[in-house]
Amino acid sequence: MFTVQQHDATMPARAGMLKTVHGTIETPAFMPVGSLGTVKGIDPDELQSCGYGLILGNAYHLYLRPGHTLIAEQGGLHRFMQWPGAILTDSGGFQMVSLADLCRITEDGVGFKSHLDGSWHQLTPELCMDIQVALGSDIMMMLDHCPPYPSTESQAREALERTTRWAHRCLAVPRQDHQLLFGIIQGGVFPHLRQEAASQLLELEFDGYALGGLSLGEEKATMFQIIQDVTAKLPLDRPRYLMGVGLPEDLVEGVCRGVDMFDCVIPTRHGRTGWLFTSFGRVLIKKAQYARDEGPIDPDCACPVCQRYSRAYLRHLFVSNEMLGVRLNTLHNLWYYGTLMSKIRNAIRHGQLQEFRTQFYQARDPHGQDVSSDTVCV
């Protein structure tokens, strides 16, 4: 299932292979988010051209629309969306935070009012598994209780203890032979709770382990320390997944601390808002300075957008609210993320991750996102 092929000599980073029935994924890997069965504006062929073999769907959203039973009738999520690669489905636990005003959490599960029509639903750990089994995803996530930020220590403890109890219930649900199940480590920003949560889930022998409840507003240094502490406790032969993170520098720092998998809406959402990622930082394409700029977004980028279109044209599309502009922005950002992860993997395999990390920050705009000074890996 998962094999580590190369360890970095100075940091916990590693390069590996995650085998699924829908292809083998090289790690560290980033997963584009396709909550509703599509990565917004991008078709499957384009996703593959960007180097992706694994994407994320959301059980909560697909349960509400069009329904997991309908998708099962259509042959499963892969066939429904015509995606030949692997799919990881999130359980919907994060929606407890993002849609907190619509949810009520009990020991049985999560009661929630649909954000679509106001109808009431009860998402139990068992139903969460049943939904993902019906979708046919390659990697399923257990239902977890994700505490909001900030939370008190008692609130974080309550969430992690409930998550552990739900973990037992999720594991008891039969699933298809090819489906892997990951556990989710909670505990808020409290190091001892994170360690306790990890210990409890390690006893249950999940196929992989995820860190949930991060990047919710805590300081970056706090997030990085939690990642470093928790990954050090996890088994070497299981993939480690940092949920909902993040910016390019977050991926670099997460890999340096031993993370194998990431997902985030940032590249697609930023594409829709005109923020474009480059080797030298971020470009806000709507700025007037690009109105007559004939150059590509990034001269060092090999994506189809940079090879064909100018900044001036992309700015015109964006300020004119043309759909093509959003599509091209998103395609470029996804290509950037795919290329970044490929470079990180190559650096690990050649024993050059520290050099890559240094060059990554040196190349960025001095007014951009350089966080290297306060994110030292040990």
For the chain, 378 residues long, give each residue's pLDDT as a single digit of tens.
899 999 999 999 999 999 999 999 999 999 999 999 999 999 999 999 999 999 999 999 999 999 999 999 999 999 999 999 999 999 987 776 677 788 899 999 999 999 899 999 999 999 999 999 999 999 999 999 999 999 999 999 999 999 999 999 999 999 999 999 999 999 999 999 999 999 999 999 999 999 999 999 999 999 999 999 999 999 999 999 999 999 999 999 999 999 999 999 999 999 999 999 999 999 999 999 999 999 999 999 999 999 999 999 999 999 999 999 999 999 999 999 999 999 999 999 999 999 999 999 999 865 544 333 343 343
- Catalytic one among 8, 138, 260, 263? 263
Within the chain, all domains assigned CATH 3.20.20.105 are found at 2-263
pTM of the shown model: 0.95
Distance, CA of 8 to CA of 2 (rounded, Å): 17
Distance, CA of 347 to CA of 90 (rounded, Å): 29
Q: In Å, how far are 93, 110, 161, 187 from 154, measured between CA atoms?
A: 19, 19, 11, 10
Question: In one letter, which amino acid is 7?
Answer: H
Indicate if 374 belongs to the active site.
no
H helix runs in the chain, sequence order: 44-49, 59-64, 68-73, 77-81, 95-98, 125-135, 153-171, 191-202, 220-231, 248-256, 266-272, 304-308, 311-319, 323-349, 353-362
Cis omega (within 30 of 0) for bond into 246: yes
Q: How large is the greatest C-alpha to C-alpha distance in the chain, in angstroms?
A: 61
- Does CATH number 3.20.20.105 belong to domain 2-263? yes
- Catalytic one among 90, 130, 138, 260? 90
Tell me the CA end-to-end span of the chain in Å, nearest whole number.
Answer: 29
Indicate if 117 belongs to the active site.
no
Q: Which helix (H) or strand (E) holds 281?
A: strand 281-284
